[in-house]
Amino acid sequence: DGGITQSPKYLFRKEGQNVTLSCEQNLNHDAMYWYRQDPGQGLRLIYYSQIVNDFQKGDIAEGYSVSREKKESFPLTVTSAQKNPTAFYLCASTSSWGTGPQSPLHFGNGTRLTVT
Amino acid sequence: SQELEQSPQSLIVQEGKNLTINCTSSKTLYGLYWYKQKYGEGLIFLMMLQKGGEEKSHEKITAKLDEKKQQSSLHITASQPSHAGIYLCGADQKGSSNTGKLIFGQGTTLQVKP
């Protein structure tokens, strides 16, 4: 079955360390997204990529970095510059963007990152 | 910028009761998505609404977009424990564009008591 796989499910890191969250999809979707979820705040967009080798900052990109070397993969690095990294991180993808018909985002099961 | 406000923030209902969750936008909605989330898991797509007055149903869940396209409601009939979770509405940041960059409401947490 096609879907989005995020790993690991739980991640613990010491303050000051960079950490990379994995996101892999086998849906053949061009566009991929990273969201952050905090209690009572809904989801906020960190970075997105609409094509391989290209990505754009979202609303809260500071302290994060991404790469998109393959269509299937969109890893997110949480750097030591991110002031409040503890959160639930969700990766998503969609088959259609731009002038095409609207289509929903498909989400992975998330990675819960705890930084102490 | 566009904002989505959900109400209520949380809801506790007895099994078998009906309930409604609202999502109000500060700007006209060109596409409104409803998702469900179990705690600690990803979002599951429920329904997408695009036209004013549109109504869609899936099993016991009905979603509507008002004629003015600034408010949507999600109605659950005869609630069951399996309906428990967090319900989120989302809309494209660019309004009529299709960017996939969604903004979300803060979510409504639903508990269903057996």
Tell me the pLDDT tens digit for each residue of B34-91.
999 998 899 999 999 988 899 999 899 999 999 888 999 999 999 999 999 999 999 9
Helix and strand numbers (H, E) in chain A are 0, 11
Residue in chain B nearest A38 by alpha carbon: B106
Mean pLDDT rounded to a whole number for chain B? 91
Residues 7-66 of B with CB under 8 A from A: 9, 30-31, 33, 35, 40-45, 48, 50
* Nearest residue to A13 (alpha-carbon basis) of A77, A107, A91: A77
B100:A48 CB<8 A:
yes
- Cis (ω within 30 of 0) for the bond into A8? yes
Burial class, B67, CB count within 10 angstroms (exposed 0-12 / middle 13-18 / buried 19+): exposed
Per-residue pLDDT, B28: 85
pLDDT for the residue B49 = 92
* Amino acid symbol at B70: Q
What separation in angstroms does the CA of B16 have from each of B38, B55, B74, B83, B108?
20, 22, 16, 11, 19
- Rounded average pLDDT over B6-16: 97
The interface residues of chain A toward chain B in range 32-51, judged by CB-CB distance below 8 A, are 33, 40-43, 45, 48, 50
H helices, E strands: number in chain B: 0, 11
> Is the Cβ pair A90, B50 closer than 8 Å?
no
Nearest to B36 by CA among A27, A58, A21, A104: A104
pLDDT in tens, A14-38: 999 999 999 999 999 999 999 999 9
